[in-house]
Amino acid sequence: TGTLYLVPTPIGNLGDMTFRALDILKAVDLIAAEDTRHTQQLLNHFEIKQCLVSLHEHNYEQRVPQLIADLQKGLDVAQCSDAGMPSISDPGKELVAAATQAGIPVVALPGPNAGLTALIASGLVPQPFTFYGFLERKHQQQVTALLKLKQRPETLIFYEAPHRLKKTLQSMVEAFGEERRVVLARELTKRYEEYLRGTLGEALAWAETETVRGEFVVLVAGNDHPDKAPTARGAADPIQQINAEV
Ligand code: SAM
């Protein structure tokens, strides 16, 4: 059989394309791309001639079996999305699941990813973290999902489209309160890259006055001050409990 290569692509800065990603894109028999026009531009930039097929949320049911058949015939396939890591809030997971089930080797290349890039520069606790990706779109569903995360002590990472940022921050204020720390990582790796750090209340006030433009990762600090009583908190923490007994 062939091999399925998962190939990350830049999230804004073409200089972030890795040598190995270029080598694999040149070497494979076929590239399965989220948007063939988008990936064609990337290939043009690096002067790579390749055969492209599309693989996205509207055609994966037909496309995945075709690609598995190609792999079983011995063709090597690279899969990539428009930006960053395939399968991370992007197409790919169904192909990977089918390939692993069929015993086809799957090789992931390391490379650009917006969430981890934002996390390590955010100044928030880098681990543990929860990567959530895109929230539900409807306000009440957002608030319900966020309330489930409210007590979590780890840093929370979300993706959001610029035109929905304000509403999402409103849901976050509703679920977590105005005082929770947040970092908005904007336009990573691009000319207008910036980090906006403050409370959720401040971030919402900013989004209400500014025209929100660009791509954003929203990182929310974990819950430092659980609403639980100190005794209950101690009981939930085995280390504290052991110390208390000594
Ligand atoms: N597969 C990508 C990855 O590995 O990060 C994510 C793709 S997802 C469809 C697009 C979302 O990722 C955007 O709405 C934004 O939240 C985030 N994103 C992608 N590129 C970004 C960038 N350059 N700066 C900030 N956020 C970015």
- What is the value of pTM for the model shown? 0.91
Looking from the CA of residue 161, the nearest atom of ligand 1 is 14
Of 47-56, 63-72, 93-102, 207-216, minimum mean pLDDT range = 207-216
Please name the amino acid found at residue 37: R
Mutating to test ligand 1, I would choose from 215, 219, 220 the residue with most ligand atoms within 8 A of its C-beta, which is 215
Nearest CA to ligand 1 atom 11: 159
Task: Look at the block and give the residue holding tokens 């691009």.
Answer: 190
Token reading at 234: 């101690």
Phi, psi of 160 (to 5 degrees): -155, 145
State how far the Cα of 58 lies from the Cα of 63, in Å rounded to an integer. 10
Residues belonging to the chain: 246
Mean pLDDT confidence for 13-24: 98
Q: Cβ(172)–Cβ(182) under 8 Å? A: yes
State whether the beta carbon of 183 lies less than 6 angstroms from ligand 1. Answer: no
How far, in whole angstroms, is CA 104 from its chain's centroid? 25
What is the structure's pLDDT at 177? 97
CA dihedral angle for residue 189, residue 192, residue 193, residue 198, rounded to 10 degrees: -170
Among 158, 172, 159, 161, CA closest to 205? 172
Residue 134 DSSP SS3? strand
How confident is the prediction for the chain on average, in pLDDT? Answer: 92
What is the structure's pLDDT at 230? 43
Q: 66-120: per-residue pLDDT in tens?
A: 999 999 999 999 999 999 999 999 999 999 999 999 999 999 999 999 999 999 9
Q: Is the pLDDT of residue 215 over 70?
A: yes
Ramachandran area for residue 3 (φ above 0: left; ψ -120 to 50: alpha; else beta): beta
Residue 103 DSSP SS3? coil
Looking from the CA of residue 118, the nearest atom of ligand 1 is 25
Query: In which order are the strands placed within the sheet that holds 194-199?
Result: 129-134, 155-160, 216-220, 181-186, 194-199
What is the structure's pLDDT at 226? 54
Q: Is the pLDDT of residue 223 over 60?
A: yes
Q: Is the pLDDT of residue 243 over 60?
A: no
Residue 225: pLDDT band with limits 50, 70, 90: low
Q: Is the pLDDT of residue 237 over 90?
A: no
Nearest CA to ligand 1 atom 16: 159
Residue 158 DSSP SS3? strand
State whether the beta carbon of 10 lies less than 6 angstroms from ligand 1. Answer: no
Q: Is the pLDDT of residue 40 over 60?
A: yes
Q: 157-169: per-residue pLDDT in tens?
A: 999 999 999 999 9
State how far the Cα of 118 lies from the Cα of 186, in Å rounded to an integer. 9
**ipTM for the predicted complex:** 0.99
Beta bridge mates, 53? 32
What is the structure's pLDDT at 229? 42
Please report how the helices 165-176 and 139-149 are oriented relative to each other, as an axis angle in degrees rounded to 10. 50
Looking from the CA of residue 117, the nearest atom of ligand 1 is 5
Q: Is the pLDDT of residue 244 over 80?
A: no
CA of 186 to the centre of ligand 1 (A): 10
State whether the beta carbon of 215 lies less than 6 angstroms from ligand 1. Answer: yes
